[in-house]
Chain A
Amino acid sequence: SQQGEEDPQALSIQEGENATMNCSYKTSINNLQWYRQNSGRGLVHLILIRSNEREKHSGRLRVTLDTSKKSSSLLITASRAADTASYFCATAPLRAGGTSYGKLTFGQGTILTVHP
Chain B
Amino acid sequence: GAGVSQSPSNKVTEKGKDVELRCDPISGHTALYWYRQSLGQGLEFLIYFQGNSAPDKSGLPSDRFSAERTGGSVSTLTIQRTQQEDSAVYLCASSDSGVRGRETQYFGPGTRLLVL
- Which residues of A are interface residues toward B (Cβ below 8 A)? 2, 30-31, 33, 35, 40-45, 48, 50, 88, 90, 92, 99-109
Smallest CB separation, A101 vs chain B (Å): 4
Known contacts A101-B55, A103-B56, A106-B44; 17 additional CB pairs below 8 A are A33-B104, A33-B105, A42-B91, A42-B109, A43-B107, A44-B107, A45-B105, A48-B103, A48-B104, A90-B43, A99-B99, A100-B98, A101-B50, A102-B31, A103-B48, A104-B105, A109-B42
In the complex, which of the residues B44, B48, B89, B109 contacts A101, with contact meaning CB atoms closer than 8 Å?
A: B48
In the complex, which of the residues B37, B91, B103, B107 contacts A102, with contact meaning CB atoms closer than 8 Å?
A: B103
- In the bound complex, what is the Cα–Cα distance between A42 and B42 (angstroms)? 14
- Which residues of B are interface residues toward A (Cβ below 8 A)? 4, 31, 33, 35, 37, 42-45, 48, 50, 55-56, 89, 91, 93, 95, 98-100, 103-110
Contact call A103/B104, Cβ cutoff below 8 A: no
- In the bound complex, what is the Cα–Cα distance between A41 and B95 (angstroms)? 19
- In the bound complex, what is the Cα–Cα distance between A37 and B93 (angstroms)? 14
Which of chain A's residues have a CB closer than 8 A to the CB of B33?
102-104
Asked, given contacts A101-B56, A108-B42, whether A43 binds B104 with beta carbons under 8 Å apart, the answer is no
Contact call B43/A41, Cβ cutoff below 8 A: no
- In the bound complex, what is the Cα–Cα distance between A30 and B45 (angstroms)? 17
A109 closest partner in B (C-beta): B42
B6 closest partner in A (C-beta): A42
